[in-house]
Amino acid sequence: MFKIAFIKEACLQDIWVGDNNDTSLDLIRSSLQKVGPIGLLETFGSDFFIVKSNNSKAAQKIRFSQIHQLSNEDYKLIENTKIKINSSRLPLRCPNDFSHDPEKINWSEYDIVISHNFAVPISIRRQHPSILWICLTGEGNYPVQSSCWDYFISHDYPITPVAELKTICMPYCFVPPKYIFDNFKTSPDKEGIYIEINSKTRYKKQLNNTKLFKKFYSLKLNVEFHSEDIEKNLEKIVSSKYFIKLGGRPVRGNSFLEAMSASSLCLLNYNDCFGKIPFHQYCYFKDEEHLIEKLKFLEKNNEFLIELLNYQDSVLQNMIENVKIQFEIALSDKRKNLESKKSRINSRKISIKSILKKSLQPILGSALYNSLIRIDDPVIDKNKYLPSILE
């Protein structure tokens, strides 16, 4: 079995604030809104570190590609603003209270390092060539060329255990089956509906007097909406029998994976999720009338509801197994290639060809990106890619 370190930099506004002294639950409670890849810790026993922010040009560029409106001063404010994080951290704390100097981490303890953005400087990545270096960008897109990263993480569901070209398929919300249900339930009973946050009716006042709400009420299904507090929000999802997306913008599917782990049945339109999650066919509805028909049937057929929930558990379990196999294969390939590279270096001097390759890399990368974004082919998802970011 491999040993993983998961690294985020102090200026990252998303997910956990804490360290290895915190439980996984307390790390979730410290998160701004998202559960994040907690399965790395819970399933694979990964270590979690916050490191001092990487202020290299490349690290700044990858951050800016994700959130344009945040300046370097904003990021400094994020890493130094003290807030009440969670019940386990009684004094006010900020991310920098937990941040490590990356030079002082014993990287040789790890087989795989997953870095949120470019949190780990390139100097360290070069010092440890036997480690599998994986970058998890803040959004599901990544540069067409980069330096010293073996793989990027796609944010998509891993339909197979076979990794794509230099890409590990793993959702941002990487969570085991029933994990959220077991840890955030406040009652043994589940009832009612939770409306997904990106729905067209994301607030109670928008839905209250609609025909659809009256139909929910006629089925004796109360309706819950998103809470800004992550713990309260997860408790709402766990207490709800159904997790429904009602229109609005399509999503990659992290909220659906949270709902699956909360043992709430996901119901959605065919166009609501693009993250390759294999929902059960029954969970799709065409329109509001079709949705009500399905809810009526489920309310009268609890055994079928349980069957669908068991299917969702298998979706999460398959996700974990497929990601594990991708890691194993990627690590094995990295080490085989490393041995092959060592033998080549020992057998010849640095050639003119390798020098030319290094000098032409930025030009070729720019040409590749400019060509890629002009290709009109539905097979190629151009939104996945950023221009080259070389260090």
* Domain layout of the chain by residue ranges: 4-149, 179-315, 351-385
pLDDT at 41: 98
Give the C-alpha distances (Å, rounded to integers) separating 61 from 71, 290, 334, 389. Answer: 11, 46, 27, 8
Please say whether the structural domain 179-315 has been given the CATH code 3.50.50.60.
no
Binning the chain into helix, strand and coil, the percentages to the nearest 5 are 40, 15, 45
* Residues 107/131, Cβ–Cβ less than 8 Å: yes
Return all residues near 152 (Cβ < 8 A) that are at least 6 apart: 134, 135, 136, 137, 142, 146, 166, 167, 168
How far is the C-alpha of 379 from the C-alpha of 2, rounded, in Å?
Answer: 34
Share of the chain above pLDDT 70, in %: 82
Task: Note the Cα 133 to chain centre separation in Å.
Answer: 17
Give the predicted TM-score (pTM) of the model: 0.88
pLDDT at 200: 79
* Residues 174/228, Cβ–Cβ less than 8 Å: no
pLDDT confidence tier of residue 281, bands split at 50, 70 and 90 = very high
pLDDT average, residue stretch 157-178: 95
Q: Residue 375 pLDDT more than 80?
A: no
In three-state secondary structure terms, 333 is helix
Q: Across the strands, what pairs with 49? A: 7
pLDDT confidence tier of residue 350, bands split at 50, 70 and 90 = low
In three-state secondary structure terms, 173 is coil
According to DSSP, residue 62 is labeled H
Give the C-alpha distances (Å, rounded to integers) separating 363 from 17, 151, 339. Answer: 39, 22, 29
| β 4-9/47-51 pair status | parallel
pLDDT at 373: 46
pLDDT at 59: 86
45 Rama class: left (phi>0) / alpha (psi -120 to 50) / beta: left
Give the C-alpha distances (Å, rounded to integers) separating 218 from 192, 193, 204, 243, 297. Answer: 12, 13, 17, 18, 14
Least confident range of 67-76, 165-174, 239-248: 67-76
What is the three-state SS of 351-382? CHHHHHHHHHHHHHHHHHHHHHCCCCCCCCCH
How far is the C-alpha of 33 from the C-alpha of 23, rounded, in Å?
Answer: 17
pLDDT average, residue stretch 80-105: 87
Task: Note the Cα 46 to chain centre separation in Å.
Answer: 15
Cα-Cα-Cα-Cα torsion 307, 312, 315, 316, nearest 10 degrees, comes to -130
Least confident range of 66-80, 131-145, 165-179, 327-341: 131-145
Q: Residue 234 pLDDT more than 80?
A: yes
pLDDT confidence tier of residue 85, bands split at 50, 70 and 90 = confident
pLDDT at 342: 65
Q: Residue 270 pLDDT more than 90?
A: yes
How far is the C-alpha of 46 from the C-alpha of 114, rounded, in Å?
Answer: 10
Where do the DSSP E strands lie in the chain? Answer: 4-9, 47-51, 99-100, 112-116, 132-136, 142-143, 151-155, 167-171, 193-195, 223-224, 242-244, 265-267, 385-386
Least confident range of 280-284, 308-312, 361-365: 361-365
Query: Mean pLDDT score of the chain, rounded to an integer?
Result: 88
Higher pLDDT, 127 or 390: 127
pLDDT at 32: 83
Q: Which tens digit of pLDDT belongs to each residue from 97-108?
A: 999 999 999 999
